[in-house]
Chain A
Amino acid sequence: MARVLIIAQQEDGVLNPATAKTLQGALGLGIDDIDIAVFGENIDAAAESAARLEGATQVLKFDHAEFAHATAARIAPEIHAMAGDYSHVFGPSTTFGKDLVPRVAALIGVNQISDIQEVIDAYTFKRPIYAGNAIITVKAAAEHTVVGTIRAASFSTAASADSASQIESRNPATEDPGHTRFVRLETGGGEGPDLQTADRVVSGGRALGSSDGFKVIFDFAGKLGAAVGASRAAVDAGYVPNELQVGQTGKIIAPELYFAVGISGAIQHLTGIKDAGTIVAINKDAEAPIFEVADYGLVGDLWEILPEIEKLI
């Protein structure tokens, strides 16, 4: 029984783009039967978006107040309850998936294949280790359910289908353990495109010097229609909120165009951008490691160079 279950991610009824990339990754398994499970409350739109993805057999909609702020502790038993119907269970390698999917894997009784960047066949995968300094090929035993998270930046978005697949409503099969309660979500309320999926990203580093200094990054990104990112150093220094961090422990992104401004390029940052199309680095230190991976480099003062570029575009 080869059959795949994709755990969708949605926020406020909107399907997160990482879902379509997870599906695209799963298409590489060579298994035709792929279901997408969507958990939440008032999620008709998200379920319909999932049903419009090419390659989805059916969408399982778990629309219930208990899933409104879906914690791993609440959803993992639901997925475990239906896991017997599937040979593969995958989620996105976002903080949502990273939190949830290992809990599912442990309930099933297998290790998870984290951060899949390439699907070789239904049981063989490539994934990064040591902050991307090595790529490991991992083989899962065919007698167990294969459970993994898929690195969105490594896959394109699944195409949209001509006709929508069927949406089946499901009721909760397990009870809320009650021990884990959502309190609130604080977002930076950032304007502009989403960092994880933007075609263009401008990131700033410690060289920006302050949150005020970071305004030039926001202005420049605004002009380009780009999302704003940051190095760990800039986030640690408090210039910008944590959700802007790009790198090993932040967001892994793959924009077509990436500007690294005043970022020296620690390996932990580079691992977050290695799938970017074109990398531009602006740094006053000609020896900065960022220039080893950049397609184009400008050595000089970012406070002079950024306004110059702005004038020319």
Chain B
Amino acid sequence: MKILVPIKRVVDYNVRVRVKSDGSGVETEGVKMSINPFDEIALEEALRIKEAGNAEEVIVCSIGSADCQQQLRTGLAMGADRAIHVSSETDVQPLTAARVFKALIDKENPEIVFLGKQAIDGDNNQTGQMLAAIWGRPQATFASKVELEDGKATVTREVDAGLEVLEVDLPAVLTSDLRLNEPRFVKLPDIMKAKRKPLDEVSLDDLGVEAAPTLEATAFEPPPKRGGGRILESAQELVDELKNKGLL
């Protein structure tokens, strides 16, 4: 069994992102970039499935400029067997990303495609669901536990009401939530080893996918700031304030 894990290069989780002063986008110049944290969790789970003897190969793939090969190398250092870089100079929208991954599925025939539930840049939370739709296969999103048996996955999902358990036939699309696992740290020898692992490059054209965006971003603005608050001296003062505002 093969597992395909799409990973996205995004602004690191710890960077406080700022909107450019001319409103044309967000500041990404000179900012630390990383694998989208949810994708890293998805990759970790795929590696654990392989290490448990339930998969033979883990393939990482990423869409973007040559820079995203850094994240693919990190994925290889974590333990992925090989990488596919789908080169694109422009950002692709989720449906295009899903079409790219579908084209890779047609070549690679994975039993599981494991994605992060959302990328922390666009916060779209769409690509996995879209891929499952155009593939015509099950989706188990927001996974916090995955068990495999007899060509099926039993997936525990984090939903608003609590935890939902779904059983899906493979092949299927799974997306990771935060508490699925804690990704491993990459060790130096693994980084060296990763340099020798295969990393293939293909273009959108090679895969027969058009970028075809359906949405246009027309403006970026910083979020409205909440008015400055006050530090109060005592519980009594707080209760008085809240009563004055009719909140208690």
List chain A positions with a Cβ less than 8 A from chain B.
Answer: 11, 71-73, 76, 94-96, 98-100, 102-107, 109-115, 124, 128-141, 144, 177, 179-188, 196, 232, 235-236, 241-243, 248-249, 251, 256-257, 267, 274, 277-281, 286, 291, 293-299, 305, 308-309, 312-313
Q: Is the CB of A114 within 8 A of B168?
A: no
Q: Is the CB of A129 within 8 A of B122?
A: yes
**Contact flag A103-B235 (CB < 8 Å), given A71-B166, A249-B177:** no
Q: Is the CB of B229 within 8 A of A73?
A: no
Residues of chain B within 8 A of A313, CB atoms compared: 239, 248
Most chain-A CB neighbours within 10 Å: which of B158, B215, B226?
Answer: B215
Binary interface encoding of chain B residues 106-123 relative to chain A, with 1 for a CB under 8 A from any of its CBs, else 0: 000000000001101111
Q: Out of A100, A111, A186, name the residue touching B163 (CB < 8 Å).
A: A186
| Majority secondary structure, A binding face | mixed
Residues of chain B within 8 A of A256, CB atoms compared: 247
Residues of chain B within 8 A of A181, CB atoms compared: 166-168
Q: Is the CB of B222 within 8 A of A294?
A: no
Residues of chain A within 8 A of B218, CB atoms compared: 124, 137-139
Q: Out of B129, B159, B221, B241, name the residue touching A135 (CB < 8 Å).
A: B221
Residues of chain A within 8 A of B132, CB atoms compared: 72-73, 103
Q: Out of B123, B178, B232, name the residue touching A298 (CB < 8 Å).
A: B232
Q: A143 CB to closest chain B CB, in angstroms? A: 9
CA distance A232 to B178 in the complex (A): 9
Q: A288 CB to closest chain B CB, in angstroms? A: 11
List chain B positions with a Cβ less than 8 A from chain A.
Answer: 11, 16-19, 26, 93-95, 98, 117-118, 120-134, 136-142, 144, 154, 157-169, 172, 177-179, 213-223, 226-227, 229-232, 234-236, 238-239, 241-242, 245, 247-248
Q: Is the CB of A134 within 8 A of B123?
A: no
Q: Is the CB of B229 within 8 A of A286?
A: no
Residues of chain B within 8 A of A298, CB atoms compared: 231-232, 234-235, 238
With both beta carbons as reference points, the residue of chain B lying nearest to A71 in the complex is identified as: B166
Q: Out of B26, B122, B219, name the residue touching A137 (CB < 8 Å).
A: B219
Q: Is the CB of B214 within 8 A of A141?
A: yes
**Contact flag A103-B130 (CB < 8 Å), given A115-B123, A313-B239:** yes
Residues of chain B within 8 A of A251, CB atoms compared: 160
Most chain-B CB neighbours within 10 Å: which of A96, A129, A295, A309?
Answer: A129
Q: Is the CB of A136 within 8 A of B130?
A: no
CA distance A181 to B13 in the complex (A): 34
CA distance A188 to B215 in the complex (A): 39
Q: Is the CB of B226 within 8 A of A99?
A: no
